[in-house]
Structure 1
Amino acid sequence: MNVRKIIGWNLRKLRVAQGLSQERLALAADIDRSYVGRVERGSENVTIDTLEALAKVLGVSAAELLTEPPKGARDPAPLSSGRKPKAN
């Protein structure tokens, strides 16, 4: 797996685990939503500054986004579609 794919795999895994949409992550990191999608697909060459911004929003170190997934790990599941219910 190349580094761009590793970053995308980790980004999606962490984003979905925290229940963040690509749009919310992008807004919090001050980047474009479509850029987040391209990063997750491994088609974007991410700068260190962008990697740091994404990691900060996700509450992890930038190094965690560079950690190779375990052998045989499945792709992270997508976030369930639809809006979340409002918290009371």
Structure 2
Amino acid sequence: MQFKLDSLETEKYASRGELRSIILALKMAELKYLEDGVKPILLLDDIFSEFDADHRAHLYQLIKNYQTIITTTDRDHIPAKLLTKSKVVEMK
């Protein structure tokens, strides 16, 4: 599968944030495909650190109705709305 942005191959020309956005779009499409009565659990590895505040807010809207496990190295990257509804496990 090959992706292009403005007719350029993403693996050569896309920024790290653009690549993360593409991966996230694929992950969300996969969720919709797998969803058949029971919503699957969503696993996200440090995704919020890759996005600005607007993209974080949009991502929150996409995942708020799914059971989600999120890893992060910085809790400040997680939207406050999400933290208030979450169980946080801190690893040291």
TM normalised by structure 1 equals 0.27
> Higher helix proportion, which one?
1
Q: Which has the higher contact order (CA 8 A, sep 6+)?
A: 1
> Higher strand proportion, which one?
2
TM normalised by structure 2 equals 0.26
The structure whose Rg is larger is: 2
